Amino acid sequence: MTHPAHHTHSPAHEHPGGGSRAMALSATLHCLTGCVIGEIAGLVIGTALGLGNGWTLVLAVALAFLFGYMLSTLPLLRAGLGVGAALAVVLAADTLSIATMEVVDNAVMALVPGAMDAGLVNSVFWLAMMLALGVAFLAAYPVNVFLLARGKGHALTHGFHGAATPSGARRLIPVLPSGALAAVIVAFMLGGLLVSAAAELGDEPDASTEDSRQSCEIDAVFHERFG
């Protein structure tokens, strides 16, 4: 008596159309979140250490990959995989997506005048970052759709999600839904922009103070010449 062979079906084939697009959206948001965390952390560390733009960029890209991989690894660890096995799956699933996002993101930032030198407390940086991340998302999303259609990308990780009820310490591992990731990104970017705008407005001299200063200068010149 023969037994039917066990097949592992790709989620992209089991849930064509909307399911595949939703999975691609989730994968792209995970990559985007990792990019945001890594790049901001890289800029903060690079500025604190006095690094140049080149080394700061290298650090930011490295941290973007690190956090991108971490966000995808956590659900696999929660599902019961070991660290080594989880990392192997994530490296195969996410590398192309994160690389695409990083290349496009940094290219846009480099093209926006003054964005690379603006610093965190500058509205130019946050506006350029919003633009760069938006373009990077649009570039990485079709990459994830392409990979999922071929049973690759996040299709490699999806089969492990919910495979078993987590037990012990694994229950404490957080798993962030796509909606929460999107909300965190938007709130973080808007917060940075508002803080920068407030700081820039605070640096502008008050009109009455400026008028008073000019009046004092005129009086000083008058007394110097005629007093």
Identify which has the larger pLDDT, 53 or 125.
125
Report yes or no on 5 lying in a domain. no
Q: Supply the DSSP symbol for 1.
A: -
* pTM of the predicted model over 0.85: no
Instruction: Decide if 61 contacts 104 (C-beta within 8 A).
Output: no
pLDDT at 63 over 60: yes
Report yes or no on 193 lying in a domain. yes
**DSSP H/E element including 224:** helix 207-226
Q: What is the pLDDT of residues 37-61, one digit of tens each?
A: 998 898 889 888 888 888 988 999 9
Backbone phi, psi, residue 122, to 5°: -155, 125
What average pLDDT does range 211-219 have in this prediction? Answer: 57
Instruction: Decide if 30 contacts 175 (C-beta within 8 A).
Output: no
Report yes or no on 43 lying in a domain. yes
Question: Hey, CA dihedral for 91, 97, 143, 156, is it positive or negative?
Answer: positive
Q: What is the pLDDT of residue 161?
A: 59
Identify which has the larger pLDDT, 16 or 147.
147
Report yes or no on 7 lying in a domain. no
Report yes or no on 10 lying in a domain. no
Instruction: Decide if 102 contacts 184 (C-beta within 8 A).
Output: no
Report yes or no on 3 lying in a domain. no
Q: What is the pLDDT of residues 68-118, one digit of tens each?
A: 898 888 888 887 788 898 888 889 888 999 999 999 999 999 899 888 888
When the pLDDT of each residue in the chain is averaged and rounded to a whole number, the result is: 78
Report yes or no on 36 lying in a domain. yes
pLDDT at 7 over 70: no
Domain count, the chain: 1
pLDDT band at 210 (very low <50, low <70, confident <90, very high): low
Report yes or no on 200 lying in a domain. yes
Q: Supply the DSSP symbol for 163.
A: S
28 is in which domain, residue-wise? 15-163+175-226
